[in-house]
Amino acid sequence: MLSRLSEWFWNERLWFPEGLGWADLEDRDGLTYAKASDLWVSLPIALAFLIIRQIFERTVAIQLAAALGVKEKVRVQAAHNPTLESYFRITNKNPKQSEIESLGKKTGYSESQIHRWFRRRRNEERPNKMKKFREASWRFTFYLLAFIAGLAALIDKPWLYTMKEMWAGFPMMTLLPSQYWYYMIELGFYMSLLFSVASDVKRKDFKEQIVHHVATILLISFSWCVNYIRAGTLIMLVHDASDYLLESAKMFNYAGWRKACNYIFIVFAVIFIITRLVIFPFWILHCTWVYPVTVYPPFFGYYFFNGLLFVLQCLHIFWAVLILRMAIKFLPGNDIVEDERSDREETDTEDDEEEQEDRKAPVKNGPVQNGHSPLNNNHHRKNE
């Protein structure tokens, strides 16, 4: 069964145009070609990235956070209550009104106290600002270095300027050392992101991120196997062109540098729109979809490759909508750009209610002692 499945999977008619096959990619006359077995190298690279990331976030990122003045907000801990804790972990983190009344009878708490307890308990499970900053600084560092390295590897290549050159001589296109390492490092990085997605900060677009990582890994792997490497390097360069700007905007946001965050975000938005909604679909995707059929008849690999590119383009449109929504909030003069994907901490309207209750009640538990500032009413939060 496995042998038949393997034979079907590696059928040349699936991956190559008629008349071409794996034999055309065998090394000969001192020329080297990409091989599917090369992809195993990405696994140890992915593991190395996971280790390097842990070291980076515990050393460089911490020092950088201190230099930028990142300050963690003090969170009020929910009072220990076995009944509410059990309900929170097992039943529901956001109880309905009828459930709150039932919990009130069991614990002797008022409805406002139960609301407050669940709000504080939910906040405890949300990632803190330092964790977000460390993740953003790690991704910023990689994306920036990857973009610089990719640009250096492609700056003298003809297919960077003339898209049709990416298919010249296909599939007998020799492998360059710069292409090899560019591919393996990018593939290893995205695999490391997929491995760590469960422990990373979860955004509202968590599912879209999973789809993006899987589509990217499949795209890189497939393009390597069938020697679509020139197209693959261009696609990776286009994606790296704006990502480091978004991560740097997040870093300045967490540090409270509002003007720097907003300016960088605007630059990011412009570059994102140009690269993802103009260059990618009208140059790269057009060349991979329209031009190849003038050279050879369509085949499965042709449709599979372009299908993955269309998936990425749909994600680009989805994220572009979020970016435009953030830009609209920014234009009227908001203090800071809010990331539409962020899971906002419950400290705005909820704290106002608490403060009103505290003012009415003759107790010492005022807003400052609660760990909340009454000046946070107009503050907007921003991820990735």
Predicted confidence at residue 353, as pLDDT, reads 46
Nearest of 179, 200, 146, 191 to residue 44 by alpha carbon: 191
pLDDT of residue 31: 79
CA atoms within 13 A on the CB side of 182: 26
CA–CA dist 44, 53 (Å, integer): 14
Q: What is the pLDDT of residue 125?
A: 65
Q: What is the pLDDT of residue 357?
A: 46
CB-based contact 121:80 (threshold 8 Å): no
The tokens for 274 are 């140009």
Q: Is 256 left (phi over 0), alpha (psi -120 to 50) or beta?
A: left
Report residue 232 as tokens. 């693959």
List, in order of start, the domains of the chain with CATH numbers.
31-67+128-330 (no CATH), 82-125 (1.10.10.60)
Cα–Cα dist 288/283, whole Å:
9
Burial of residue 304 (CB within 10 Å: 0-12, 13-18, 19+) is middle
Please report the pLDDT score of residue 376 as a whole number: 41
What's the distance, CA 2 to chain centroid? Answer: 35
Contacts for 53 with CB less than 8 Å, ≥ 6 apart: 138, 192, 196
Please, where are the H alpha helices in the chain? 2-9, 12-15, 42-58, 60-68, 82-86, 97-107, 111-125, 129-154, 177-196, 206-225, 229-255, 258-274, 286-289, 300-330, 349-360
* Cβ-based neighbours of 54, under 8 Å, separated by 6 or more: none
Q: pTM here?
A: 0.74
Tens-digit pLDDT string for the chain (384 aa): 667 777 777 777 778 787 777 777 787 777 788 888 889 999 999 999 999 999 999 999 999 999 988 877 766 777 777 887 777 777 777 788 777 878 787 788 888 888 888 887 777 667 678 888 998 999 999 999 999 999 999 999 998 988 888 888 777 788 889 999 999 999 999 999 888 876 776 666 567 778 878 888 988 998 898 888 999 999 999 989 999 999 999 999 888 888 888 889 889 999 999 999 999 999 999 888 988 888 888 888 888 889 888 988 998 998 899 888 887 776 545 544 455 444 455 554 444 444 444 444 443 333 333 444 444 434 444 444
Residue 347 class from Cβ within 10 Å (0-12 exposed, 13-18 middle, 19+ buried)?
Answer: buried
Closest CA to 295 of 50, 26, 102, 20: 20
